[in-house]
């Protein structure tokens, strides 16, 4: 039975996420220290190995526990958000529980639906697990490299708000060493590490009104992020999807790097036309029409029919099974680099995100046309 592996020594046998982080650490890039729990390590051996390895990180320090599955973070399929992540775990018992949760998620409906759609496989993947020091992020998010530009999305607190599509993130585009475009989002909530409670974890709270539409990064930090992203792309040999965090001291940390599996849509041309057309962010290209199906949570999944246009406030990864059924997706929050947007692009599912009041305006609409190239949603 293989013992835990220092993150510096992570290899492809430990899954795509762990292997990539090992490459970055060996290159001297700012990646939080940690270790990998191999898929084969279980039982009493798992508890003893985790207990000993936590000494290297600080026994009572909060950690991030993330899957590193055999089919995750690959060149053709990212599995973005399809496996469990546990942030802010503290202590041996909670970390072991989190490791087992990551492994168990491989057999869950979202991971299995995604695996079937992208590879045709119907058995769970093997799951190694990465355990790292948690970065108490002041700001966090995602950046994509490629096509001579970098796109950065960010929000206050931990990056869960951005990847889960729970906020309208701030967005910057960088080209030729300068910021060429900036859009300030509507950042109404933030996720942070819980400071108290057994096993700790995270907490979600409202962002003060004065901070919601204030940029959470300055241009200098955006340019630093873009430069780091390019270093990662050069090191990894192609465009990269990078998760990052900035702590209270202003230090930038890299939390994940994986290949970009589907290119971002081109920015739309200047949009004129009908005043009654709803507008948002074209997150996945293509055009599709169907009846609007407003869904507020998992209790509404059974009402979704093939060919519907899914309309919701946000789509966390648990909604992925619906992506194989619906014709298109419209959300009220979320950005280009959220997990939902990445999966929609991989599945070639038209998606427009960040459409204000979509669940009210489109309720019961018999036909909705979603254009992911222009970022528009129209009714007859």
**DSSP letter at 307?**
T
**Statement to judge: residues 51 and 80 lie in one domain:** yes
pLDDT of res. 271: 52
Ranges of H-type helices in 218-361:
219-236, 320-323, 339-346, 358-361
**Statement to judge: residues 93 and 206 lie in one domain:** no
- If residue 282 lies in a helix (H) or strand (E), which one and from where to where? strand 281-284
pLDDT of res. 305: 96
Domain count, the chain: 3
**Statement to judge: residues 32 and 101 lie in one domain:** yes
How wide is the angle at C-alpha 260 spanned by C-alphas 265 and 375, nearest 5°?
20
User: Residue 263: which of 204, 209, 342, 316 has the closest Cα?
Assistant: 342
Find out whether 229 and 177 touch, Cβ atoms under 8 Å: no
Q: How far is CA 124 from CA 85, 101, 108, 116, 284, in A?
A: 17, 14, 9, 10, 27
What are the pLDDT digits (tens) for 237-279? 999 999 999 999 999 999 999 999 998 988 776 555 565 799 9
CATH number (domain holding residue 330): 3.50.30.10
**Statement to judge: residues 183 and 237 lie in one domain:** yes
**Statement to judge: residues 310 and 353 lie in one domain:** yes
Q: What is the extent of the structural domain holding 184?
A: 137-259
SS (H, E, C) 158-207: CCHHHHCCCCCCEEEEEECCEEEEEECCCCCEEEEECCCCCCECEEEEEC
**Statement to judge: residues 200 and 160 lie in one domain:** yes
From first to last of its 380 residues, what are the pLDDT tens digits of the chain? 579 999 999 999 999 999 999 999 999 999 999 999 999 999 889 999 999 999 999 888 999 999 999 999 888 889 888 899 999 999 999 999 999 999 999 999 888 988 888 888 789 999 999 999 999 999 999 999 998 899 999 999 999 999 999 999 999 999 999 999 999 999 999 999 997 766 668 999 999 999 999 999 999 999 999 999 999 999 999 999 999 999 999 999 999 999 999 989 887 765 555 657 999 999 999 999 999 999 998 899 999 999 999 999 998 777 888 998 999 999 999 999 999 999 999 999 999 999 999 999 999 899 999 999 999 999 98
CATH number (domain holding residue 74): 3.30.1490.20
**Statement to judge: residues 9 and 125 lie in one domain:** yes
CATH number (domain holding residue 147): 3.30.470.20
CA distance 317 to 338: 10
pLDDT of res. 270: 53
**Statement to judge: residues 119 and 152 lie in one domain:** no
Q: How many CA atoms lie within 13 A of 338 on its CB side?
A: 32
Tell the burial category of 6 from Cβ atoms under 10 Å away from its Cβ (0-12, 13-18, 19+). Answer: middle
End-to-end CA distance of the chain: 62
Find out whether 62 and 193 touch, Cβ atoms under 8 Å: yes
**Statement to judge: residues 228 and 290 lie in one domain:** no
CB within 8 Å of 340: residues ≥ 6 apart = 81, 165, 283, 314, 315, 316, 317, 319, 329, 331, 334, 351, 353
pLDDT of res. 378: 94
CA distance 79 to 16: 11
**Statement to judge: residues 106 and 90 lie in one domain:** yes
pLDDT of res. 240: 97
* φ, ψ (nearest 5 deg) of residue 194: -75, 135
The domain boundary, picked from 133, 156, 173, lies at 133
CA distance 227 to 252: 11
Write down the pTM of the prediction: 0.93
Task: Respond yes or no: is residue 339 known to be catalytic.
Answer: yes
**Statement to judge: residues 221 and 304 lie in one domain:** no
One of 14, 182, 296, 339 is an active-site residue; which one? 339
Cβ count within 10 A of residue 16: 24
CA distance 124 to 126: 7
**Statement to judge: residues 296 and 333 lie in one domain:** yes
């Amino acid at each position: 039975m293989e013992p835990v592996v220092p993150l510096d020594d992570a290899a492809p046998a430990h899954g795509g996420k762990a292997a990539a982080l090992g490459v970055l650490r060996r290159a001297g890039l700012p990646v939080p220290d940690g270790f990998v729990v191999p898929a084969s390590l279980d039982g009493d051996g798992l508890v003893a190995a985790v207990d000993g390895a936590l000494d290297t990180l600080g026994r009572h320090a909060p950690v991030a526990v993330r899957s590193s599955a055999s089919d995750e973070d690959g060149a053709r399929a990212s599995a973005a958000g399809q496996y469990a992540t546990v942030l802010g775990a503290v202590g041996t018992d909670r970390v072991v529980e989190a490791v087992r949760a990551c492994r168990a998620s491989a057999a869950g409906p979202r991971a299995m639906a995604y695996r079937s759609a992208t590879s045709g496989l119907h058995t769970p993947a093997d799951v190694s697990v990465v355990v790292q020091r948690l970065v108490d992020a002041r700001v966090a998010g995602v950046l994509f490299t490629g096509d001579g530009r970098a796109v950065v999305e960010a929000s206050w607190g931990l990056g869960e708000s951005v990847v889960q599509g729970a906020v309208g993130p701030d967005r910057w585009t960088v080209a030729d060493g300068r910021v060429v475009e900036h859009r300030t989002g509507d950042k109404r909530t933030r996720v942070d590490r819980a400071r108290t409670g057994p096993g700790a974890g995270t907490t979600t709270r409202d962002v003060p009104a004065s901070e919601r539409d204030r940029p959470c990064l300055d241009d200098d930090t955006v340019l630093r992020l873009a430069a780091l992203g390019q270093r990662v792309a050069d090191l990894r040999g192609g465009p990269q999807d990078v998760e990052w965090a900035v702590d209270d001291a202003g230090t930038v940390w890299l939390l994940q790097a994986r290949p970009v599996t589907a290119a971002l849509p081109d920015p739309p041309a200047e949009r004129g036309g009908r005043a009654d057309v709803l507008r948002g962010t074209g997150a996945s290209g293509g055009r599709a029409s169907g009846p609007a199906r407003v869904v507020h949570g998992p209790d509404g999944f059974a009402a979704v029919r093939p060919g519907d246009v899914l309309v919701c406030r946000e789509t966390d990864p648990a909604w992925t099974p619906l992506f194989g059924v619906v014709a298109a997706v419209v959300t009220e929050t979320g950005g280009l680099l959220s997990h939902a947007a990445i999966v929609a692009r991989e599945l070639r599912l038209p998606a427009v995100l960040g459409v204000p009041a979509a669940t009210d305006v489109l309720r019961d609409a018999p036909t909705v046309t979603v254009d992911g190239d222009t970022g528009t949603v129209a009714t007859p």
